[in-house]
Amino acid sequence: MRAYLSSINNPWRVFDELMNDVPFEVFNNEWRARNGQYPRVNVWENEKGLAVEAEVAGVDPDKLDVSVESNVLTLKGEKEQAGGTKSEFQRSFSLPFELDNEHIKATAKNGVLTILIPRKTGVEKRKIAIEKL
């Protein structure tokens, strides 16, 4: 009954239904990307490391900052807009493995930033002995 009432009384019903149809994450990313707060990325992975491509049109490569701390990759930048105003953006990725912040390779071309980061080596795999009871 309550559900029925809320559906007829809720002026935002149509909007809610629409939002339910759209995966929120996608909608949110798209919205943020449109507002220039959130560069779109493609992430590639293999046993050696990570390759990331990010769309950063209109961002001066000198104003781009790529940093790695343990397993978190952060992209930061400053985008210049009309009339000299600036907007900053930041995006972080948490990865299931540690990255080597000594050997990051980043290049920018045609408004696309390409980053190559190897996995941290020397992270020893430990075999855990299972005790028999």
Paired with 80 in beta bridges are 86
Q: In this chain, which of 37, 53, 100, 101 binds other proteins, going by CB under 8 A? A: 53
Does 40 engage in binding with other proteins (CB under 8 A)? yes
* Minimum distance of other proteins from residue 37's CB (angstroms): 13
Rounded CA separation 89/80 (Å): 11
Q: In this chain, which of 37, 51, 100, 104 binds other proteins, going by CB under 8 A? A: 51
Rounded CA separation 129/105 (Å): 39
Q: In this chain, which of 7, 10, 28, 42 binds other proteins, going by CB under 8 A? A: 42
Tokens 């493995």: give the residue: 97
Q: Cβ neighbours of residue 73 under 8 Å, at least 6 residues apart?
A: 50, 52, 66, 67, 92, 93, 95, 99, 115, 117
Does 98 engage in binding with other proteins (CB under 8 A)? no
Burial class (CB in 10 A: 0-12, 13-18, 19+), 34: exposed
Size of the site for other proteins (CB under 8 A): 27
Instruction: Name the residue nearer to other proteins (CB basis): 9 or 85.
Output: 85
Stretch that binds other proteins, among 6-14, 68-76, 110-118, 120-128 (CB under 8 A): 110-118
Name the residues that contact other proteins, by CB under 8 A.
29, 33-34, 40-46, 51, 53, 55-61, 81-83, 108, 110-112, 114
